[in-house]
Every structure is written in C-alpha cells, then in structure tokens.
C-alpha cells in the first residue's frame, strides 16, 4: 500500500512532464508543416533515378547454410 503513495505521484509527475513537453513543441512550431519536409527530402532537385549502364555481376559464395548472393560486392574474407 505504501508503494501507491510513491507510484501515483510519480505517474502524475511523468504525465505532467509529457504534457509540458508536448505543449512546448506546439508553441515552438514543430507541427506547423507536417508534409513539407517529408516531401522536400524525397523530391528535392530535378535529377532522375540513377541507373547503372553495366551492372556488376553477382558474386556467389558457399556457406554452411548453402549458397548466398552478394550483389555488387566482392566475396567476404573468412
């Protein structure tokens, strides 16, 4: 029973800290432009997709579990 006298104020205090930090993010403008930065990072610039004209062949190595493929990589040293 004595634990509740410690845990209940602790839970209320943690809730108040969370609420205060949420209110701080609202006042600082964290949620003003939700899609701008997400779209800007994807569609920044006019360059098209990067395509390799001559892709490197795939390397195959044998492991204990069978064969494994490492595309565009050299064989790992063991």
Q: pTM of this prediction?
A: 0.45
Tell me how far apart the alpha carbons of residues 37 and 46 are, in angstroms, rounded to a whole number: 17
- pLDDT of 55: 58
pLDDT bracket for residue 30 (50, 70, 90): confident
User: Considering the chain, what is the average pLDDT of its residues?
Assistant: 76
More confident site: 47 or 4: 4
Domain that holds residue 15: 1-31
Tell me how far apart the alpha carbons of residues 21 and 15 are, in angstroms, rounded to a whole number: 10
The answer to whether position 7 is within a domain reads: yes
The answer to whether position 45 is within a domain reads: no
State pLDDT tens for residues 31-69.
887 777 777 777 766 666 666 666 555 555 555 665 555
Query: Which long-range contacts (C-beta less than 8 Å, at least 24 apart) are formed by 26-35?
Result: none
Contact 61, 67 (CB under 8 A): yes
- pLDDT of 35: 77
The answer to whether position 50 is within a domain reads: no
Tell me how far apart the alpha carbons of residues 15 and 13 are, in angstroms, rounded to a whole number: 5
Number of domains the chain is built from: 1
């Amino acid at each position: 029973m004595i634990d509740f006298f410690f845990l209940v104020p602790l839970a209320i205090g943690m809730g108040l800290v969370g609420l205060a930090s949420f209110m701080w993010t609202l006042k600082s403008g964290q949620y003003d432009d939700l899609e701008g930065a997400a779209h800007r990072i994807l569609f920044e610039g006019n360059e098209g997709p990067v395509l390799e004209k001559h892709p490197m062949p795939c390397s195959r190595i044998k492991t204990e579990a069978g064969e494994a493929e490492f595309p565009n990589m050299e064989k790992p040293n063991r």
